[in-house]
Structure 1
Amino acid sequence: MAVLLQKEREQVASVMRRLYRQGLTTCSGGNVSMRCGEEVLITASGTDKGEIAASGVGIVTLGGEKLTPKLRLSMETEMHLEIYRNRPDAAAGVHAHPATASAFAAMEREINTRLTAETWQVLGRPVVAPYALMGTASLASLVGKASREGSAIIMENHGVVTVGGGLLQAFERMELLEAAAKMTWIIESMGAAPRRLSEEQLHEIEEKYGGGSRNNAPHSFPKKET
């Protein structure tokens, strides 16, 4: 299985390295996963995220069976599995701790995604997962449930998770979520009232390009039994 998915493991490792290069996570923080049918590829724990190779990406089934027993999988593996169980449309997940978005995750303040057409179209409205201890089943359950309401998830006092139909989409959402957080912070620090896109403008974006509030439509998929 590991040999058969070598190309996909390399893709996961590449996105993890890119997250680190762009300052979206630390050398030991964050994780990336990719769903391939009933198997999920995910970065291993204890790896240098700036140098991780395909050999540092493990494989686990949706039911939690480890297929690469020599690798210690990410402590947030169950969180990624819960996302896929709740969102069968999802094919990739990115969890990171970008500084600005993580600061908002530690405050009761929203990240404004209505400042530009791009952030609204790609992200819609970020949803919040209540705090739970990292690496626990409680956190996995809370994030999994939150993923049914949106693809950009703020984890209280922790970080953020983005979900996509592929690795590039999940990465783009992470990148844009941090950009939206920076824009929100800059505007607030200037003491200015933001000029948000109007409801009419948001509707126009969605009609022409999709996305937007459609990213937040309740995903009424049945949770898969494992």
Structure 2
Amino acid sequence: MYSELREQIAEICRMMWQKGWAAANDGNISVNVGEGKFLATQTGICKAFFKAENVGLIDGDMNVLDAAPGFKPSSEIKMHLRCYRERADIGAVIHAHPVAATSFACAGLPLDDECMISTVLEVGKAPLVPYATPSTDEVPEMIAPYLQSHDVLLLENHGALALGRDLITAFCRMDTLEHQAQVSINARLLGGVKNISDVNVKKLISMRASYGLSSPPGA
């Protein structure tokens, strides 16, 4: 079932490793396939070697419905499921540890610079979600208040989360988030970030629809 989508998830997992978003077994992906079912990545597999057989079908209680023998979903899929419950428009979730964005999370800083046109258009600000113990129900509870108004989140001392209407959108948002983090760090080294004016930020946000981009419900 869903063989093409499983292959796409595995390919993106390998890309995550190549781009430095996921060391060793870090990171996880899920896709909402409808009727309360989700494709989810297996725990304990290095993303460099990820295969389609490492993607399983689960339900909203993390029961395995269809998977290769020995499959166990990542325990952090709990936070993905919370995203789907909070946002009916979300079709895919990616969690990763991209170095620059995670550096902001480890420094206790939101990524709220509005200095790049593409970032304002495509993802907006990334708030800092307070620390929560990974793999527990603390994480879903902590991210819940931010989901209605943001498509990308920083998880304090942990990593980043990107939401999208589909897998490619979620991947592109994580990519944009990490690029913004790299630019923001460099701008600080060069003397400071020069943000786009509030007036022009509002203009950019109003242009999202014309670029085929959706806005978070709270934007």
In the alignment, the residues of structure 1 paired with residue 97 and residue 28 of structure 2 have an alpha-carbon distance, to the nearest angstrom, of 10
Which stretch of the first structure deviates more once superposed, 204-213 or 18-27?
204-213
Contact 2:105 2:156 in 1 (8 A): yes
How far residue 65 of structure 1 moved from its aligned partner, in angstroms, is: 2.2
2:101 counterpart letter in structure 1: A
Q: Distance in 1 between matches of 2:61 and 2:74?
A: 16
TM norm structure 1: 0.88
Shift of 1:144: 3.4
**Letter in structure 2 aligned against 1:45:** T
Q: SS in structure 1 opposite 2:160?
A: strand
The whole-number CA distance in structure 2 between the counterparts of 1:77 and 1:9 is 16
Secondary structure of 2:161's match? strand
Contact 2:110–2:128 under 8 Å retained in 1: no
2:15 partner amino acid: R
Match of 2:24 among 19, 22, 27: 27
Q: Which residue of the partner structure matches residue 83 of structure 1?
A: 83
Counterpart-to-counterpart distance in 2, 1:214 and 1:48? 33
Matched residue type, 2:216: N
Partner AA of 2:160 in structure 1? V
8 Å contact kept, 1:34–1:41? yes
Contact map agreement 1:25 1:98 (CA 8 A) in 2: yes
Number of aligned residues: 214
Secondary structure of residue in 1 paired with 2:47: coil
> Which ranges of structure 1 fall in alignment gaps of 5 or more residues?
219-226
**In the alignment, what sits opposite 1:14?**
11
User: Does the 8 Å CA contact 2:110/2:154 hold for their aligned counterparts?
Assistant: no
**Residue 112 of structure 1 contacts residue 184 of structure 1 at CA under 8 Å; is this kept in 2?**
no
Structure 2 equivalent of residue 49 of structure 1: 47
Root-mean-square deviation (CA, aligned residues, Å) is 1.9
| Other-structure match for 1:73 | 73
1:47 partner amino acid: I
Secondary structure of the residue that 1:13 maps to in structure 2? helix
Task: Confirm or deny: 8 A CA contact 2:111 2:127 kept in the other structure.
Answer: no
Match of 1:224? none
CA contact (8 A) 1:76 1:140 kept: no
> What is the Cα deviation at residue 113 of structure 1?
4.0
Match of 1:182, SS? helix
- Displacement after TM superposition at 1:73 (Å): 0.8
Q: Aligned equivalents of 1:68 and 1:167: distance in 2?
A: 20
Determine the C-alpha separation between the residues in 2 that align with 1:180 and 1:139: 24
Aligned equivalent of 1:92: 92
Per-residue CA deviation, residues 47-99 of structure 1 (Å, 9 max, x unaligned), is 12112111001111123322146301112011111111111110000100011
Change (3 A) 1:84 1:56: same
Which runs of 5 or more residues in structure 2 are unaligned? none
Distance between the aligned counterparts of 1:150 and 1:125, measured in 2? 7
CA distances 1:145-201 after superposition (whole Å, capped 9, x unpaired)? 3222211011011000000001111011111111111111111122x2322111121
Q: Distance in 1 between matches of 2:130 and 2:66?
A: 31
Q: Deviations over 1:125-156 (max 9, x none)?
A: 11222111110011122223322221101101
Show the 5 A alignment for 1:95-174.
95-174=95-174
In 1, Cα distance between the equivalents of 2:144 and 2:41? 19
C-alpha distance in 1 between matches for 2:146 and 2:154 = 9
Query: Partner letter of residue 6 of structure 1?
Result: S
Distance 1:59 1:24 in 2: 24
